[in-house]
Structure formats: structure tokens, C-alpha cells
């Protein structure tokens, strides 16, 4: 993995992004994440690398047989900007360590609201899912109403701040589920795979599925190519 992966930022949704802040092992250590996993497994008998072929074979064996503790030796730290509708689901994964931007300290900006590209219809078979989209005219009409709602909420928020209302109370005027927040998050590779398995699934809500897909494609795969290959083979395709 090249040093350039640290600091890489990928755009997600209309105003969101995800950035890799750090990882363990760090690229400067010259030990790849995959090798760190293999070395952790071999510590049981004080061994280390035995060449790419044997190392990769061992890593595949570990994941295939759910020997997962060596995968906890690799960690990713991200900065993520996402709307609250995404974070509402993300925090259900308690294996992530998180620290969030606070609206008590930092005032929100007029553009800090999520605007979907299209309005999804309610699924007929799944009470918590969506399927299909509204047609173009209905879609445009709802988007216009949403933007008007954002404008009015932000106007009232700004008015309250101007009157000297505390930031922690003025934010009551903001449309809650759409507000973008920036978080710092950290997780090990084992629990990240569990997150990706659930949140890249077709029945996951779109607003978190796109973040999971971005992590998988732009960070997980290039940082841990052997692990990512085994993950697809033994975890995703096995379901």
C-alpha cells in the first residue's frame, strides 16, 4: 500500500466525503496490513512471513475458517462527513470508535443539508426499506419543497443566533435528519468486514450503503488486497 492512501478523500452523496486519516500498520512501517494479519496468526509459534504464496494461503485459511482475531491487528481511522440519516444507522455498529462534530460549538452553514437525487418509494414487502422511484415531476416537486423547508429552517436558526440564543438551542430549528455532521471514526479490519457485509447488502438503506461501498472500494481493497479477495470469496459470495 502506498503512502498516498493516507489523506485520500472520496466524495459520497451530494456533499459528503470519507477520508482515511491513519491506519495501523502505518505505510511507513513497510509492513502491509495483510502481512500484519499473517504475522499475528503465526505469533502462536513465533513465526513470521514465509513468502507471498504461503502467507496468502494462511490468510485465506484464517478467514475461511473464521479465525478472526488476527484481523483485529489492523485498524483504520477515517474522517467522515455524512447526514444524520446515515449516522443514525452507523452508530448501531458499536465496534466503531467515534467522535462527532458538535452543533453546540460549531455553527451550521446554510449548505449543510442533504438533498437526494431522487425520491424512493416505500417497499411493499419490507416496512423499513424502499424500492423504485417517483416519476420526474413528482420528484422535482418534492425536492423543491424540501429546499424551501431547508431555507426556512436555516433562516429561523440564523435569526435565533442573531438574537443571542445559544447554538445548542438554536439548532432546534434545523431539519434534523438531513444535517451533515463530520465524525472521526476508527475500527479494526475484522469488525469492518462485518460492517461492510451488512451495509453493502442490497436491503441496506442507500444513504449508508454508498458510504460502505466507498470504504470497500477506495480503502479496504487497496489497503488489504488479500483480505479483500478472501472477504468477497468467503463472506460475501457465501451468503
* Residues with catalytic roles: 199
User: In a 10 Å sphere around its CB, with 0-12 CB exposed, 13-18 middle and 19+ buried, how is residue 223 labelled?
Assistant: buried
Rounded-to-integer distance, Cα 222 and Cα 10, Å: 14
Rounded-to-integer distance, Cα 219 and Cα 42, Å: 25
Rounded-to-integer distance, Cα 201 and Cα 206, Å: 10
How many helices and strands, by DSSP H and E, does the chain display? Answer: 9, 7
| Bridge partners of residue 9, in order along the sequence | 19
Nearest C-alpha neighbor of 97 from the set 84, 82, 83, 78 = 78
Nearest C-alpha neighbor of 195 from the set 115, 77, 91 = 91
Q: What angle do CA 96, 115, 200 make, to 5 degrees?
A: 40
Rounded-to-integer distance, Cα 220 and Cα 158, Å: 40
Which grid cell sits at 120? 424512493
Alpha carbon separation from 59 to 32, 40, 171, 214, 229 (Å, rounded): 13, 10, 49, 24, 10
Cell numbers 463472506 correspond to 235
Amino acid at each position: 500500500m502506498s503512502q498516498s492512501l493516507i489523506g485520500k478523500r472520496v466524495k459520497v452523496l451530494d456533499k459528503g466525503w470519507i477520508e482515511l486519516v491513519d491506519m495501523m500498520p502505518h505505510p511507513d512501517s513497510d509492513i502491509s496490513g495483510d502481512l500484519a494479519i499473517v504475522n499475528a496468526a503465526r505469533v502462536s509459534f513465533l513465526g513470521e512471513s514465509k513468502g507471498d504464496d504461503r502467507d496468502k494461503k494462511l490468510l485465506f485459511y484464517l478467514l475461511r475458517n473464521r479465525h478472526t482475531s488476527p484481523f483485529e491487528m489492523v485498524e483504520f481511522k477515517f474522517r467522515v462527513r455524512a447526514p444524520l440519516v446515515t449516522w443514525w444507522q452507523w452508530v448501531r455498529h458499536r465496534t466503531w470508535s467515534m467522535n462527532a462534530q458538535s452543533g453546540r460549538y460549531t455553527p451550521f452553514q446554510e449548505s449543510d443539508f442533504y438533498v437526494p437525487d431522487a425520491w424512493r418509494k416505500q417497499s411493499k414487502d419490507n416496512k423499513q426499506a424502499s424500492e423504485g422511484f417517483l416519476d420526474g415531476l413528482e420528484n422535482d416537486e418534492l425536492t423543491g419543497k424540501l429546499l424551501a423547508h431547508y431555507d426556512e429552517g436555516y433562516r429561523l436558526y440564523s435569526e435565533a443566533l442573531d438574537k443571542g440564543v445559544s447554538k445548542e438551542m438554536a439548532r432546534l430549528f434545523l431539519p434534523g435528519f438531513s444535517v451533515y455532521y463530520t465524525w472521526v471514526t476508527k475500527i479494526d479490519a475484522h469488525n469492518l468486514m462485518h460492517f461492510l457485509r451488512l451495509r453493502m447488502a442490497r436491503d441496506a438503506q442507500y444513504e449508508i450503503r454508498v458510504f460502505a461501498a466507498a470504504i470497500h472500494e477506495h480503502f479496504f481493497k487497496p489497503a488489504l488486497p488479500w483480505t479483500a479477495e478472501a472477504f468477497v470469496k468467503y463472506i460475501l459470495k457465501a451468503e
